[in-house]
């Protein structure tokens, strides 16, 4: 058994849910109160019912056996526990493991020397290479001359939508704009 892991940090979601459940009285949630209660606040069953999830599923959330709740489940639990905006933000932070939250490191797109040499050999045709976000990664001299009227020749989207020269540059600006958006979606 790994003794370095502290149970509270290992199941931050469960600890948060238990603490918030204990702070909410049945009458706060519109539930009838009857007799003496063994736990402070709401019971697990009550939270599950208010959230529209099974009691078993809610128990797995609190116990840390369910590690990937959907956004809809988190929204429903937040509503059931009557969480304010800060508490909802915290709920999402503890419910989303760090590995899922972080994005892959941004990979710098580069054009290899062979492709650069090929571009330079095309002296009769403007040619350029686009990255995934439509950044202009490389261009030949004719393409540089073609785009000389733009303030900046670095990103096709920026040039098309933000540079006033684009309206005069493209014969059919609407079609060019649609093509840029479609390429970005791809």
Residue 2 pLDDT > 70, yes or no?
no
Question: For the residues 53-59, what does the mean pLDDT come to?
Answer: 91
Q: What is the pLDDT of residues 103-151, one digit of tens each?
A: 566 678 889 999 999 998 998 999 999 998 899 999 999 999 999 999 9
Query: Contact 61/40 with Cβ under 8 angstroms?
Result: no
Looking at 47, 81, 101, which one is the last position of a domain?
Answer: 101
| pTM for this predicted structure | 0.47
Over pLDDT 90: what percentage of the chain?
36
Kindly state whether residues 29 and 93 are assigned to the same domain. yes
Kindly state whether residues 134 and 96 are assigned to the same domain. no
| CATH number of the domain that residue 19 is part of | 1.10.260.40
Which of the given ranges, 35-49, 54-68, 162-176, has the highest pLDDT on average?
162-176
Domain that holds residue 143: 113-185
């Amino acid at each position: 058994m790994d003794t370095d892991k502290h149970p509270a940090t290992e199941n931050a979601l469960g600890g948060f849910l238990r603490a918030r459940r204990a702070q909410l009285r049945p009458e706060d949630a519109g539930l009838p109160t009857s007799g003496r209660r063994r736990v402070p606040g709401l019971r697990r069953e009550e939270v599950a019912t208010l959230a529209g999830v099974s009691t078993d599923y809610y128990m797995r959330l609190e116990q840390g056996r369910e590690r990937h709740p959907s956004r809809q489940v988190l929204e429903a639990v937040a509503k059931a526990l009557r969480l304010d905006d800060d508490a909802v933000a915290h709920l999402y932070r503890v419910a989303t493991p760090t590995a899922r939250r972080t994005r892959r490191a941004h990979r710098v797109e580069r054009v290899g020397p062979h492709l650069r040499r090929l571009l330079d050999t095309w002296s009769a045709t403007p040619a350029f290479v686009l990255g995934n976000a439509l950044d202009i990664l490389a261009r030949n001299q004719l393409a540089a001359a073609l785009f000389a009227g733009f303030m900046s020749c670095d990103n096709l989207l920026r040039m098309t939508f933000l540079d006033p020269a684009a309206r005069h540059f493209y014969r059919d600006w609407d079609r060019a704009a649609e093509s840029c958006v479609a390429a970005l979606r791809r």
